[in-house]
Structure 1
């Protein structure tokens, strides 16, 4: 459970920093168009902070951390989120700079797509864990009811 708290806190700090970075970087560059940097803040706060806080709350009721797949699912999810955010940052910096990207645009899109896929796999694993724990809890309470 402590890990979930620390992950939520880490994503909160990164999300707040990214919001300040977006505002200051675009101001410094005199940039007034649309950029991927503007969405970093909300992605990190929603997918990083809120998801981990929800998992923390769900763990209290369903003992998610007791499931053998839980830790792996959290790290797969976070890996996908980190890859997605890194590629969003790269794309946003290129948009603000207006220069040549360090990689072809298709490569950036492809790697961002991989980040989304890994994120989705992590979410799927988390739902597997939640489903298993719901079934376990239901069968446990049914067994307790029948023994009375």
Structure 2
């Protein structure tokens, strides 16, 4: 499934690895090097998921999450995964209590990245399929002269 995913990380190497992995999975990735840039992108474009580095210099991933959840933009309900090397401060499930839908430890293992994307976008994928099916049905009904289906 072709998903649009925002990667937010202050480290260029981390952004590059995540972007290459997501592209290899068949997804489209956008990148932001800090929280303010991420919030600009989140205000303008719809994403299926957000991967947020927890510790960034200008604004933490948690602050980015709180702000885009509170905004009226198109990503208010978009699932987000916390991506961090900080595995000692909190248990992985504690990040869920903060509002993230998943947790990824750095260095990111590609198989775990794939599993997290599948997990947090499951409802998004189902909705995309439903919308595509409805669009195909509408197009078919138009071609057939809007005949009702029995």
User: What is the TM-score with the length of structure 1 in the denominator?
Assistant: 0.39
User: What is the TM-score with the length of structure 2 in the denominator?
Assistant: 0.38
Q: Which has the higher helix share?
A: 1
**Relative contact order, CA 8 A, sep 6+: which one is greater?**
1
Q: Which has the higher strand share?
A: 2
Q: Name the larger-Rg structure.
A: 1
